[in-house]
Structure 1
Amino acid sequence: MRDNQMARSEERGGIAIVGAGPVGAIAAMYLAPRFGPVTVLERRADPRRGGGRRGRSITVMLSTRGWRALSELGLDAAVRAICLPIHGRCAHLPDGRSHVSPYSRDWRPIWSVERARLHCLLLDAAEATPGVKILFEQRVREVDPDVPAVEVENGDGSTRMAYSRVLGCDGAHSVVRAALVTRGAQAVVRRLELAHQEIDVPGGWLDPSTMHYWPTGDALFAAFPLPSGNFAGSLFLRHEGPAPSYAVVESGQDLLEMFVSRFGKPAAAIPDLADQLSVKSIGTIMTVSCDRWVWRDKLALLGDACHAMAPFMGHGMNCGFEDVRTLVDRLDSTQNWAAALAAYEKIRIEDAHAISYLSYQHYHHMANPPAESIAHAEELRNRLIALFPDRFVPLYERCAFTEESYAAVLKDDRRLDSLVEDLLSRHGAELVSASNSRLRACVSAAGIASLGEC
């Protein structure tokens, strides 16, 4: 360990969770009743006392996977009281048309919640759980996976503390993951080409039951409803490259002109847009992929520490909560940490890769108004889903309203894409408007095996 001679050494025992974000708090609440003392180490100040993290999106989404964890912990009613149901997304296209896509075929909602309010609620609940202790302003500088032990730096100096287990819930720049890399793990941490600014949007001119977005191909503006009646807006541009990008539109005036030219209606509805664009920080989007999540029976990664993803499917937090549930389920069934950690890693890695891929691809789907060929494929896909509702389920619906494997959902969706491509190549775009009986016949002629695989 760094500066071992200067660091005090303590034997704490119990479980250490590095990171007191939502996933860390959920993990502490699951583990303490089962395994005794849990110490949560957080490098930032307590957000309930003005120490909240800047630069994060204002809202996060809760769907079935997230609600399962909250329900098991008895927090679902309290959380739902601060949430807002959102039933679909509305695309405001450049030609003036708008189109609403429901999140599910029966219009079930996902739930929008302000990140800061949810985080504070979870911290309160974690601290109220017997055996959980949260320590803020504790910077974990280094982790030894073999002991396991952590070196923590705070206002009193540096301390090396040994625990029975260490769990990394410390986000995209995880110190715990860095320790796993020293033991041979391969990790890829990437900054996406996209940057974003959070823009406050007044209510009263948009339907508050849907999320709204304005695609232009080279820029995207999205607005998420808030319980206050207002909206949390997000502007997405490239960091660099030709206009529009933050590297090109450097001055506030240039950025304002770009926004007005591409997003006229939102621009007209936001009275202080110029001021917000000039002072709001520009955030980056980091992604993480890691081929190893555990070390023996000593250490594991959860949430963004092992699979930080683009935010466009709204599943980062839900996936992190599902990580915790999966790990705890394995522990409950095996009563053996080494076996449980190995099973957890095997179960979750492929799913994490799948939802991370889907989340990034969803940005391109939302940001680009559909070309004619893409529009034909999307319309035919929707007709197949309507005509064979038991066989074809929309991808987003399966991700948001089931607990099916993300990897299985992605594989099935690719098979449906192949079927759509095959049908269009055989019969042309006119099949999109064909009668139901003809479409059924064409699907049958494409081969029962193809249909069965989907």
Structure 2
Amino acid sequence: MTKSGGTHPDNPGIVVIGAGPVGLVAAMYLAREHGPVTVLEKRPDPRPLPHRAGRSITVMLSARGWHVLTDLGLAEAVRSVCVPIHGRRAHFLDGGSHTTPYSRDWQPIWSVERERLHRLLLDAAEADPGIRLRFGHRVREVRLDEPAVVVGTAGGTATLPCRRVLGCDGAHSAARSALVAAYAERGGGPDGVREEVRTLGLAHQEIHVPAGWIDPWTMHYWPTGDGLFAAFPLPSGEFAGSLFLRVKGPAPSYEALRDDDDLRALVAARFPGPAAAIPDLGAQLARNRAATITTVRCDRFRWRDRLALLGDASHAMAPFMGQGMNCGFEDARVLREALASTGDWESALAAYEESRTADAEAISYLSDQHYHTMANPPLETENPARDALRERLYALCPERFAPLYEQCAFTEESYATLLREDRAFEELVDGLLRAHGPALASAPASTLSARLAEVSTTRKDHRCS
């Protein structure tokens, strides 16, 4: 690159903004068929720094993510640094616990330290001859008319021309800002962008949890209604813990705390199991400051044939469904498949946007809702017949009906379709109970099958073979 006003001597073709996992996956997909690709990252290369074993946020890999890693030839290498986890176990203040499998046949999802995965993906991208990684390059402006990106480095400001820009630069995306501005200036009216960037009313702290007191093949969590402590297994047998509390409001919230001693006392009272097992809890709470959670919703993911948004740049979501990175990886795969099927960038980006906006909205909604499911200890159910009938239908018609979490994690069906079908399933359950009463939940299988065959809905043929 040259100083401001100059251009790069060779057009890189595609610029990917952001060298996080989604940006690297997108670069590897596109370099093979549409390269060259330059990846710009504002931060320095993390690989020369020591790995903080056991003290890194974990991310979950499920079917959508594994599809992408398999495509790229990285599944085996990634699996070697993952831990399979088969379900989540809730621990209650009264000493009881309850385990919910992630799938009815106990298939696992996979927990991996984000930092370890990131380093592996960086190595793979760097080894690709079609990709150039550029660290310490902060994108200051995206010029969609040219197109080009203006980058600030230690040496000054430079302009990098290109043909396409992929914005994989997170919740505070420079690429999304350019997209919003472009629609405001040239789209206007009903063609403008509906964008929402907000900070959740929750904050979290990372806590390293030692091994040996809870089983290492389950995600463990301690719900209190007004807070949550979660522990995710690591390859070492230890756990990556996360404390979630409200940011503001009456106790328990971070705002209501006077000092670190108050926080330690709160954790000891609300989460006595983890508190007793973590010998340096007070020191960790004082050292690892609370971080807020930013979410993004945007109804436009592309500008003409020049710009596309992927991952958190277009749909940063709450972490509670474990689908944020999987959804971002799927973005890259869908974009690659749209290019392969159309052969035309404008048509491909239009198809990509149409496919992903509804899915992103659906999984973002589900991720918000899932926190409330996990944080609140189960009380005596208001409708035990509904719960029992739901479980009977899952068992009676396993090919027709499945829990929503299981379908999100173990299939690649559209998130929007899954949400729509789950709502239809709940309507079916309620309709059966209204028509036949709560006794249907314990009726013989033949009776239940007959009642189910009588029901006609828009979801599917509800008869079970």
CA distance in 2, matches of 1:41, 1:245: 38
* Matched position secondary structure for 1:357: helix
Aligned residue identity for 2:152: E
1:193 aligns with 2:191: no
* Matched position secondary structure for 1:9: coil
Closer/same/farther in 2, CA of residues 238 and 443 from structure 1, 3 Å limit: same
Q: Residue 401 of structure 1 is aligned with which of 387, 393, 410?
A: 410
Residue pair 1:42, 1:137 contacting (<8 A) in 2 also: yes
Displacement of 1:122: 0.2
Q: CA RMSD in A?
A: 2.2
Q: How many residues align?
A: 448
* Matched position secondary structure for 2:295: strand
* Matched position secondary structure for 1:265: helix
- Within a 5 Å distance, the mapping from 1:217-366 to structure 2 comes to 217-366=225-374
- Within a 5 Å distance, the mapping from 1:13-412 to structure 2 comes to 13=11, 14-50=13-49, 58-184=57-183, 185-373=193-381, 376=384, 377-412=386-421
Residues 167-219 of structure 1, C-alpha deviations (whole Å, 9 max, x = no match): 10000000000000002222111111111011111111111111011111100
CA distance in 2, matches of 1:373, 1:109: 28
1:418 aligns with 2:417: no
Unpaired segments ≥5 residues, structure 2: 184-192
CA distance in 2, matches of 1:284, 1:378: 35
Closer/same/farther in 2, CA of residues 434 and 92 from structure 1, 3 Å limit: farther
* Matched position secondary structure for 1:159: strand
The equivalent residue for 1:10 is 8
Displacement of 1:28: 1.0
CA distance in 2, matches of 1:280, 1:91: 24
CA distance in 2, matches of 1:306, 1:265: 38
Unpaired segments ≥5 residues, structure 1: none
Displacement of 1:290: 0.7
Displacement of 1:157: 0.4
Residue pair 2:421, 2:459 contacting (<8 A) in 1 also: no
Aligned residue identity for 2:169: D
CA distance in 2, matches of 1:191, 1:380: 38
CA distance in 1, matches of 2:147, 2:387: 51
CA distance in 1, matches of 2:353, 2:382: 37
* Matched position secondary structure for 1:129: coil
CA distance in 2, matches of 1:11, 1:244: 57
Residue pair 2:4, 2:159 contacting (<8 A) in 1 also: no
* Matched position secondary structure for 1:120: helix
Residue pair 1:419, 1:450 contacting (<8 A) in 2 also: no
Displacement of 1:419: 2.4
Residues 388-420 of structure 1, C-alpha deviations (whole Å, 9 max, x = no match): 212211111111111111111001111122223
Residue pair 1:8, 1:158 contacting (<8 A) in 2 also: no
CA distance in 2, matches of 1:227, 1:7: 50
Aligned residue identity for 2:357: I
Aligned residue identity for 1:370: P
Closer/same/farther in 2, CA of residues 96 and 436 from structure 1, 3 Å limit: farther
Residues 20-58 of structure 1, C-alpha deviations (whole Å, 9 max, x = no match): 0001111111111212211000000111022999xx961
Residue pair 1:169, 1:304 contacting (<8 A) in 2 also: yes
CA distance in 2, matches of 1:41, 1:210: 37
* Matched position secondary structure for 1:372: coil
CA distance in 1, matches of 2:297, 2:145: 23
Displacement of 1:66: 0.5
* Matched position secondary structure for 2:103: coil
**Percent of aligned positions with the same letter in both sequences?**
60
CA distance in 2, matches of 1:206, 1:384: 33
Displacement of 1:352: 0.7
CA distance in 2, matches of 1:132, 1:214: 44
CA distance in 2, matches of 1:429, 1:177: 51
* Matched position secondary structure for 2:242: strand
Closer/same/farther in 2, CA of residues 126 and 417 from structure 1, 3 Å limit: same
* Matched position secondary structure for 2:176: helix
Aligned residue identity for 2:406: E
Displacement of 1:426: 5.4
CA distance in 1, matches of 2:71, 2:439: 50
Residues 308-352 of structure 1, C-alpha deviations (whole Å, 9 max, x = no match): 011011111111111001001111111111111111101111011
CA distance in 1, matches of 2:8, 2:51: 29
CA distance in 1, matches of 2:334, 2:289: 36
Residue pair 1:197, 1:283 contacting (<8 A) in 2 also: yes
CA distance in 2, matches of 1:371, 1:443: 29
Displacement of 1:10: 3.2
Residues 261-296 of structure 1, C-alpha deviations (whole Å, 9 max, x = no match): 111111111111111112212111111111111111
* Matched position secondary structure for 1:48: coil
Closer/same/farther in 2, CA of residues 301 and 374 from structure 1, 3 Å limit: farther
* Matched position secondary structure for 1:28: helix
CA distance in 2, matches of 1:293, 1:45: 27
Displacement of 1:434: 5.1
Aligned residue identity for 2:78: V
Displacement of 1:62: 0.6
Residues 133-157 of structure 1, C-alpha deviations (whole Å, 9 max, x = no match): 0000101011111211111001100
Residue pair 1:415, 1:453 contacting (<8 A) in 2 also: no
Aligned residue identity for 1:284: T
Displacement of 1:437: 4.9
* Matched position secondary structure for 2:219: strand
Closer/same/farther in 2, CA of residues 5 and 65 from structure 1, 3 Å limit: closer
CA distance in 2, matches of 1:60, 1:143: 30
